Amino acid sequence: MAIRTGKDYLQAIVEPRDIRIDGEKVTNVIEDPRFSGGAKTMAMIFDLQNREDLIDKMTYVEDGERYGLSHKMISTKDELEARKQMFKIWSDASCGTFGRSPDYMNVYLMAMAAAADQFGEYADNVRNYYKFVRDNDLSMTHTLVNPQVDRSKPVEQQDKDLAAKIIETNDQGIVIKGARMVSTLSAYADEILVVPSGIIQNNQEAFPYAFAFGIQADAPGVIHVSRPSVVHREAGHAMDYPMSGRFDETDAMIIFDNVLVPWERVFTHGDVTMCNEFYKRTNIGAHILDQSTIRSLAKAEFYRDLAFTITNSTNTDGFINVQNMMAELMTSVEIIRSVIVAAHAEAKTVNGIMSPNAAPYAALRLRYPDMYQRMCEIIRTVGAGGLVAVPSYAEFESDETKDFVEKYFQSANGDSRSRTKLFRLAYDASISSFSGRQQLYERYYSGDPVRAAAIMYNGSNKEPSYKRIWDFLEEYEKNA
Ligand SMILES: Cc1cc2nc3c(=O)[nH]c(=O)nc-3n(C[C@H](O)[C@H](O)[C@H](O)COP(=O)(O)OP(=O)(O)OC[C@H]3O[C@@H](n4cnc5c(N)ncnc54)[C@H](O)[C@@H]3O)c2cc1C
């Protein structure tokens, strides 16, 4: 069967890879406490597609073989709807916080493979790589962006030449040296897709920075320099950090230390036009935005439900200002849901694949970072001092403190234990370092929204707008 269970997945990623964190080298992410919670979440995600009640929603059968549904080259609107359900099930499993659950990259690669002809002599490499990932149900990360060294100059003009580039081409493949930021999930990925972003100048010096390839996350010379974990290893009790402990998907800078990429894994190199038109030619954006908007819905629903539960527990839900904030969360959910309906209603076939209309998704993408910040703010506002006036859950196991905490941490509608659990969840969702990283993720995970907004404006046809306004004034003047 080409779908993996959680056990299959864990057996695969237990293979040593080169992860650097906190001044240490970690090879086994399953045992290290900074990574083990996220690894378990990944395993849980893979298990979901094997569950008897979900298997037909999460997977599809082709030529007698079963594959994950996010790999499918969908051709009808019904299939697009079915894929939506699949995305939602995986997203709900992490309350929308695992931004790079494998479906994100699966649809990315699926769209690349559907547009394989665009890759010219490397078309078969793209097709074969897609089949390899699909058939083995692998998990992928990707890394697009050059390190933040000097944003005022094109990469080839930087005084400090640190970005990943081709330093050699030989009969075996291309050799890459240098770094790429950021790679979310790299600690849990089987494969890294190294793909273009931004504009590469069309000159000889820039050609070495123009490439796309796939490489094993544990290939020789691939070094993952991870940010410090948001897992609280000194926590008194696991219930103190119910999100950080399970949903840190990790981020790393990837350093390619003279990495040989075999020719069969090269998808383009030295072709600036292909790199600059990568997203336009492949229509990847429509599919990754489909996944991420459905994930954003799962997240918005979770924050709404959390806020409802907090305000119900302390009877603040009767106050009109609190009700207004609850309505604001409901509105966010409804806006996101409507955007998905619109994008699917206007879906059409691109490169042979049924593709949602990316325009409503692009609009939400610009609004969502602020919407999400506000969701966190509402949790902080309604939770108020209660978010810090809760003990560690470990106090319930302390003979000395147990009686006090059982008594003094109750709320109107809950005993001390349930209130402590609930408010620790709210703390983790809105204040903790996990929450801060989530807020940063939503702003930047698919590029800089400031430049995305400018691209949206600059790419629009403004002539009809100018004409309409001048026509209106002319008409008014005639009759004034
Ligand atoms: C949590 C997180 C996870 C991520 N995961 C991934 C991942 O898995 N894979 C991946 O490839 N990438 C990932 N990214 C990286 C993401 O793609 C980049 O952060 C994003 O493209 C913005 O680039 P930057 O961070 O280099 O910011 P910069 O480009 O350095 O921008 C920094 C600031 O300067 C401004 N600025 C910079 N240049 C310009 C300019 N030319 N014009 C106007 N303003 C400018 C920006 O508006 C911004 O305010 C992730 C990022 C985060 C924060």
Question: What is the average pLDDT across 45-73?
Answer: 97
pLDDT at 347 over 70: yes
pLDDT at 114 over 80: yes
pLDDT value for 14:
85
Question: What is the average pLDDT across 459-463?
Answer: 96
Q: Rounded to an integer, what is the distance from CA 270 to the centroid of its chain? A: 28
Rounded to the nearest whole angstrom, what is the distance from the C-alpha of residue 369 to the centroid of ligand 1? 14
Atom of ligand 1 nearest to the CA of 141: 8
Atom of ligand 1 nearest to the CA of 440: 53
Question: How many angstroms separate the Cα of 120 from the Cα of each of 115, 274, 281?
Answer: 10, 10, 12
- Indicate which residue's Cα is closest to atom 36 of ligand 1: 151
Tell me which of 144, 182, 292, 457 to substitute to probe ligand 1's pocket, judged by most ligand atoms within 8 Å of the beta carbon. Answer: 182
Tell me which of 151, 155, 295 to substitute to probe ligand 1's pocket, judged by most ligand atoms within 8 Å of the beta carbon. Answer: 151
Rounded to the nearest whole angstrom, what is the distance from the C-alpha of residue 144 to the centroid of ligand 1? 10
pTM for this prediction: 0.96
pLDDT value for 16:
80
Atom of ligand 1 nearest to the CA of 143: 11
Write out pLDDT tens, residues 121-165. Answer: 999 999 999 999 999 999 999 999 999 999 999 999 999 999 999
- Indicate which residue's Cα is closest to atom 42 of ligand 1: 451
pLDDT range class, residue 172, cuts 50, 70, 90: very high
Atom of ligand 1 nearest to the CA of 447: 21
Atom of ligand 1 nearest to the CA of 142: 9
Output the ligand 1 site: residues, CB below 6 A: 100, 141-145, 148, 151, 182-184, 251, 437, 440-441, 444-445, 447-448, 450-451
pLDDT value for 197:
85
pLDDT at 455 over 80: yes
Q: What share of the chain is helix, strand, coil (3-state, %, to 5)?
A: 55, 15, 30
Tell me which of 445, 451, 457 to substitute to probe ligand 1's pocket, judged by most ligand atoms within 8 Å of the beta carbon. Answer: 445
Rounded to the nearest whole angstrom, what is the distance from the C-alpha of residue 285 to the centroid of ligand 1? 17
Contact assessment for residue 434 and residue 428, using Cβ atoms and an 8 Å cutoff: yes
Q: Rounded to the nearest 10 degrees, what angle do helices 358-383 and 416-430 cross at?
A: 130
pLDDT value for 1:
61
pLDDT value for 199:
87
Contacts of 162 (CB under 8 A, 6+ apart): 147, 149, 178, 179
pLDDT range class, residue 203, cuts 50, 70, 90: very high
d(CA 112, CA 359): 20
Rounded to the nearest whole angstrom, what is the distance from the C-alpha of residue 448 to the centroid of ligand 1? 5
Tell me which of 197, 444, 450 to substitute to probe ligand 1's pocket, judged by most ligand atoms within 8 Å of the beta carbon. Answer: 444
Query: Domains in the chain, please, with CATH?
Result: 6-280 (2.40.110.10), 283-447 (1.20.140.10)
Write out pLDDT tens, residues 273-296. Answer: 999 999 999 999 999 999 999 999
pLDDT range class, residue 198, cuts 50, 70, 90: confident
pLDDT range class, residue 178, cuts 50, 70, 90: very high
Atom of ligand 1 nearest to the CA of 195: 11
- Indicate which residue's Cα is closest to atom 21 of ligand 1: 447
pLDDT value for 27:
81
Rounded to the nearest whole angstrom, what is the distance from the C-alpha of residue 262 to the centroid of ligand 1? 29
Question: How many angstroms separate the Cα of 328 from the Cα of each of 260, 304, 325, 333?
Answer: 51, 9, 5, 9
E-strand spans in 18-164? 18-21, 24-26, 59-62, 65-68, 140-143
Write out pLDDT tens, residues 380-427. Answer: 999 999 999 999 999 999 999 999 999 999 999 999 999 999 999 999
Write out pLDDT tens, residues 298-311. Answer: 999 999 999 999 99
Out of 24-28, 44-48, 260-264, pick the least confident.
24-28
Query: 194: which 2 tokens?
Result: 């190294």
